[in-house]
Amino acid sequence: MTKEYAFIIKKLQIVVIIILSIFLLGTFGFHFLEDMALLDSFYMTVITISTVGYREIKELSSYGKIFNSFLILFGVSTVAYGYSVITSIIVEGELKQVWIFRRKKKMLEKLKDHYIVCGYGRMGSYICKKLKEEKIPFVVIDKNPALETHLENEDYLYILDDSSREEVLTFAGVERAKGLISVVSSDADNVYIVLTARQLNPKLYIIARAAEESSEQKMYKAGADKVISPYIIGGERMALAVLKPSVLDFIEIAVGGKAHKGVLKMEEILISQNSKLVGKTLMESQIREITGSIIIAIKKSDGTMEFNPKPKYKIDAGDVFIALGSEEHLTTLEDMAYGKS
């Protein structure tokens, strides 16, 4: 879309420059050759190019007649070409595309702390669905124009272009984004997207998909924070279904599996500075008694993970609770973590 927009704008700019040049040439030509006032010169240029046949301001000199002849030959054809280009843009809907692009650009400029999803295949579409459910702002980038109707129907903010191009990621607001998810079909493209995005925003949280195990290290070296291999994860879950089916059932319940959706879920909850939990131990906070949630692990601000934290663990601002509970229980815990109760 960015390429199409640039082409349309460039085409319009060229037409406008040509038409203005003809009018300026005619106006100053009559002004200097026939000693006419600028307004009269402009009037002569208009009636000459438009071929309306109005009378001349005054009798032209020989030089004026020669100039006027060339103005008719080149001016009329040039302006006619310009009108045809503008008409073509309107009839073919290109002007509407420009309007849609400008509207989309304004929406993208307002985005902040959003996610950029590169690739709208099977994984990308599922990721977008989950982000929409959680009301997390995001923009989709995919170079397949056949997806436009579907993306419009889903009411997603999207860009139809190559997500490995710097200008496309910049247009998507990568400098203001919170994270980027690269799930295009090619590992090589994912590596290049990660590398480009990391250069544009060193603080960006980047997740990438790797089809081959050998690509994982390349993606980490390119700047990915997390690399997911769907085939490995799928294989592990299938093996778990055979070896430890009860464990798999628990995992599916925790992540909101279809069979238990809405009954139990796992969530990460950040402890803010304003929370009354700061400075208390887990025992003193009475989280289990008040909220009914279970704290499975705590991720500290330095990135270390405390699994099955002890009752005497002291809560700090910036800690992230990995909690398990019903939606109601987790909402109560979030209120406590954010200092709302």
* Whether residues 145 and 76 fall in one domain: no
Tell me: the pLDDT tens digits for 105-118? 788 888 899 999 99
Burial environment of residue 208 by CB neighbours within 10 A (0 to 12, 13 to 18, 19 or more) = buried
* Whether residues 327 and 266 fall in one domain: yes
d(CA 217, CA 214): 7
CATH number at 81 reads 1.10.287.70
* Whether residues 127 and 223 fall in one domain: yes
* Mean pLDDT in residue range 240-254: 75
* Whether residues 180 and 283 fall in one domain: no
* Whether residues 132 and 70 fall in one domain: no
Tell me: the pLDDT tens digits for 117-135? 999 998 999 999 999 988 9
Q: Domain for residue 248, yes or no?
A: no
pLDDT of residue 54 exceeding 80, the answer is no
Of 15, 21, 44, 20, the closest CA to residue 32 belongs to 44
Considering only CA atoms, give the Rg of the chain. 32
* Whether residues 208 and 268 fall in one domain: no
Burial environment of residue 289 by CB neighbours within 10 A (0 to 12, 13 to 18, 19 or more) = exposed
* Whether residues 40 and 135 fall in one domain: no
* Mean pLDDT in residue range 20-46: 89
The β-bridge relationship of strands 179-182 and 115-118 is parallel
Q: Domain for residue 324, yes or no?
A: yes
Tell me: the pLDDT tens digits for 268-305? 899 999 899 999 999 999 888 888 888 889 999 888 88
Q: Domain for residue 270, yes or no?
A: yes
d(CA 227, CA 164): 17
Tell me: the pLDDT tens digits for 172-202? 999 999 999 999 989 999 999 999 999 999 9
Instruction: Kindly report the average pLDDT of the chain as a whole number.
Output: 85
CATH number at 120 reads 3.40.50.720
Burial environment of residue 251 by CB neighbours within 10 A (0 to 12, 13 to 18, 19 or more) = middle
Q: Domain for residue 252, yes or no?
A: no
* Whether residues 88 and 127 fall in one domain: no
Domain boundary among 25, 59, 94: 94
How many domains, the chain? 3
Q: Domain for residue 190, yes or no?
A: yes
Of 224, 240, 220, 244, the closest CA to residue 232 belongs to 240
Burial environment of residue 184 by CB neighbours within 10 A (0 to 12, 13 to 18, 19 or more) = buried
pLDDT of residue 94 exceeding 60, the answer is no
d(CA 330, CA 236): 28
* Whether residues 172 and 197 fall in one domain: yes
Tell me: the pLDDT tens digits for 154-176? 989 999 889 999 999 999 999 99
Q: Domain for residue 56, yes or no?
A: yes
d(CA 301, CA 130): 26
Instruction: Provide the token pair at 205.
Output: 């949280």
d(CA 188, CA 133): 30
CATH number at 322 reads 3.30.70.1450
Quote the domain boundaries for residue 226. Answer: 111-232
- Percent of the chain having pLDDT more than 70? 88
Q: Domain for residue 244, yes or no?
A: no
* Whether residues 118 and 212 fall in one domain: yes
Q: Domain for residue 115, yes or no?
A: yes
Residue 259 is predicted with a pLDDT of 42
* Whether residues 138 and 199 fall in one domain: yes
- Backbone dihedral region for residue 107 (phi beyond 0: left; psi -120 to 50: alpha; all else: beta): alpha
d(CA 10, CA 120): 29
Instruction: Provide the token pair at 235.
Output: 């294989």
